[in-house]
Amino acid sequence: MQALTLHTQDGRSLRVRVYEPDVAPRRAVLLTNAMGVPQRFYEPFACWLASHGLAVMTFDWRGTGESAPRRMRGYRASITDWATQDLPTVVDALCARWPDLPRTYVGHSLGGQLFGWLDQPERFDRVVTVASGNGYWRMNAPAVRRRAPLLWWGLAPLGIAVAGYFPGRRLGAVGDLPAAAMWQWRRWCLHPDYLGAEGEAVRHRYARVSVPITAVLFDDDELISPDGVRHLYRLYAQAPVRFEHLYPAREGWPRMGHFGLFKASSASILWPRMLHWIES
């Protein structure tokens, strides 16, 4: 693994990790994080992909993980910044490092949601999203749907008011996030169209995407319902979307939920399937 620092057009620093195979890679993969999840969480999966001949790049959104400042109070960063500054910077770096390789975008949850915001999505020849859908609170899984009002009308406003950012680690919810990112996410999660609430210009970006998408969803996802996952892809008017709806209990697997696919315990169960979806 090689650790790098990239600089965005607006002058922010992003921490990046690169995983390369011992032989010449046959494909480059950009692996993008879920909300509040640091890139180190994906390291076992990234290492496994590299051991199977793929080059992988991961990163932390500004204000999160290794890209967070020492002092979070008052740090300014929104999801729009992530989509329009951080993501293009990392995509440019991926393309510059492996200019002649085919590329796959792998997005987990929020990372998958933001793909359609890219200016040049065609730089990837395929997309695989995992547990990525419409996060409108009424489309959450039942247990989370019952707790959502407490988060959006209680913990989020109070936590930001007291700390100057969302102190998710202390509250046991999501993770530490910049205030603007949390307020924007709150607005999405309280709107039936989720990120479509950003307006017609953003909707148009998604509608013009034509890259094939494989959307992986789990029946036991504790955060978002299968209907919520499927609903997101209504934004993609031109992209061919194939849903891979998996039922862990029916298959006799351990619980997968929202995060289980990327854990080392899933290596023998699902990572070979992911490799197939990434490449074909």
CA–CA dist 193, 197 (Å, integer): 6
Element (H, E) at 177: strand 176-177
39-56 pLDDT tens trace: 999 999 999 999 999 999
71-127 pLDDT tens trace: 999 899 999 999 999 999 999 999 999 999 999 999 999 999 999 999 999 999 999
The domain spans of the chain are: 2-136+202-279
Answer whether residue 280 shows pLDDT above 90. no
Average pLDDT over residues 158-174: 91
Answer whether residue 171 shows pLDDT above 90. no
The domain made up of 2-136+202-279 has a fold known as Rossmann fold (3.40.50)
Looking at every residue in the chain, the average pLDDT score rounds to 95
Q: Is the pTM of this model over 0.85?
A: yes
How far are the Cα atoms of 36, 187, 197 from residue 134, in angstroms, in the given order?
A: 17, 13, 11
The structure tokens listed for 231 are: 């609903």
